[in-house]
Amino acid sequence: MSPSPARHPAPAFDVFNVYFERIYDPTMHVLFAFNGEIDGDIMREAAKRLIASNPYIRSRFAEVDGQPFWEEIPEEQWEGAFVLVPAGDDENLPPPPLDVRSGPQVRVSLYRRAEGDLLAVTCHHGFCDAHGATTLARHLFAAYRGIVEDPDFRPVPVEPYDRSTDRILALYSEEERKRAFAGEEPFVDRWRFPAERTGRGTPRVACRTLSPDRLLLAKEFGKRHGATVNDVLIGAFFLALQRIRGDPSDRGAPRSLLTSADLRRRYLKHPEECPPMNLSIAYEVTFSADEGARLEDIIGQVTEVTSRRKAESPGLAAILFYEGIMAGGMPAVRAFFDGMIERYRRSGLKNPVFSNLGIFDPDDYLPVPGRDGSMLDLLDIQYLPCVCWPYGFLMTASTFRSRLTIMTAYEEGPYLTTAVEQFLGYVDGYLP
């Protein structure tokens, strides 16, 4: 009889991010474009050794006797964690979804291109957030470098670590938690990105990249108005949504967005040391704008709302909410998502989401030796967001070498590609 697989408890944050797959595809991808060829055999081995080093990466999400776990899987089930994509197939983006219930929790896809390799690091939001995905990428390239220098190199083994939000909750007294939970306004879905129909379609990616000069203009605009670049992007996102919808009822009426907060940066003393996991949360911001409003007309409102929400211990109420539902066990979790889906179906509304992933620093990943022994340069790093289908819509922003990229992933059919491209053009047009 074979031994039982090792299991590690899955906390509420993990469970909820797994179950969000019922309303969108929570697969994330970080793309690295190089000016030459990576050694595919060594990268395959690096991926394998990275998986072996971390008990959660070499696991699948499982429910056993009504309890959620990260259940370790045998090495023979890791084969799909590295994919060498033939030349000419690089147009097939985004890469396929990753099944969190099969594991392992990372897939590395190497696309051969004439202009240089493209490498995609793929994770599921049930396992980690965007910060966790970039952490995995750093560890992957470190393993690759290590093997180039010493074929016997092994990443330092990682012991099971605390994936819960207990360290954040510990910062607050019971009374503070109660006040935060009682004071949190419930999400109200007020609008959505225009869709042709419900159902599924063909995954697509659309993006716009702003030059360093444009990013500088956005920074200068924000400085004049006491706003961050993130505020500027949120304002442009909001106005573009109002314009693409063309709905008279939106004018001057409160309309909401969800935006994200990285809790490790807010609450942890050493966020850079946090292992791959979920520690990001979405919170709601509500604005209004008249017809024909410009960014200058609403930036003060955006800054006031985002500043106030950031001061309200963002994420604390959501943590308590998740923990409260989890107290009822997995039947309560499934019932919650059943209710959520039914509300979306009845109302046809779901507030769009904006997430700014910040700056990608090439020094976090370089040096990367090429197949011919030369050191490769990074031409670009992009984050491919989760693919949304009606009624969800997500736009992300990230910056690499002073170039700002705004991006969305969607399903063509329910969403018109022409509408998505037009929308990104509107966002670009509202930015300084």
**Torsions phi, psi of 255, nearest 5?**
-135, 140
If asked whether residues 186 and 319 sit together in one domain, one would say yes
Last residue of a domain, one of 100, 133, 149: 149
Is 415 found in the same domain as 288?
Answer: yes
Q: Are the CB atoms for 237 and 354 separated by under 8 Å?
A: yes
What pLDDT was estimated at residue 310? 87
Q: Element (H or E) spanning 355, and its range?
A: strand 353-360
195 in any annotated domain:
yes
- Residues 281 and 424 occupy one common structural domain: yes
Contacts of 16 (CB under 8 A, 6+ apart): 322, 333
Are 142 and 233 in the same domain? Answer: no
Q: Are residues 222 and 116 in the same domain?
A: no
In whole angstroms, what is the distance from residue 379 CA to residue 323 CA? 42
Return the number of other C-beta atoms located less than 10 Å from residue 301's C-beta.
Answer: 18
Say how far apart CA 429 and CA 427 lie, in whole Å: 5
Residue 261, in any domain of the structure = yes
Residue 91 lies in a domain: yes
Q: How far is CA 30 from the centre of its chain?
A: 10
From 62-66, 93-97, 325-329, 411-415, the region with the lowest mean pLDDT:
93-97
Q: What is the CATH number of the domain that holds 104?
A: 3.30.559.10
Q: What is the pLDDT of residue 185?
A: 78
- The Cα 91–Cα 240 span in angstroms is 28
* 240 & 321 share domain: yes
Q: Is residue 374 part of a domain?
A: no
pLDDT reported for residue 91: 62
Amino acid at 408: T
Residue 312 lies in a domain: yes
pLDDT in tens, 227-263: 999 999 999 999 999 999 999 999 999 999 999 989 9
Same domain (yes/no): 105, 185: no
CATH (domain of 334) = 3.30.559.30
Residue 359 has pLDDT above 90, yes or no: yes
Q: Considering the domain boundaries, does residue 372 fall inside one? A: no
Summarize pLDDT for 105-157 with one digit per residue, the tens: 999 999 999 899 999 999 999 999 999 999 999 999 999 999 999 999 999 99
pLDDT, one tens digit per residue, over 87-105 is 766 566 788 999 999 999 9
Residue with tokens 């590295």: 82
> Which of 111, 130, 149 finishes a domain?
149
299 and 227 share one domain: yes
Task: Judge if 294 and 413 occupy the same domain.
Answer: yes
pTM (predicted TM-score): 0.94
Asked if pLDDT for residue 5 goes beyond 80, the answer is: yes
Is the domain of 136 the same as that of 183? no
Q: Domain span at residue 118?
A: 7-149
Same domain, 94 and 189: no
Domain count, the chain: 2
Whether 158 maps to a domain, the answer reads no
53 lies in the same domain as 192? no
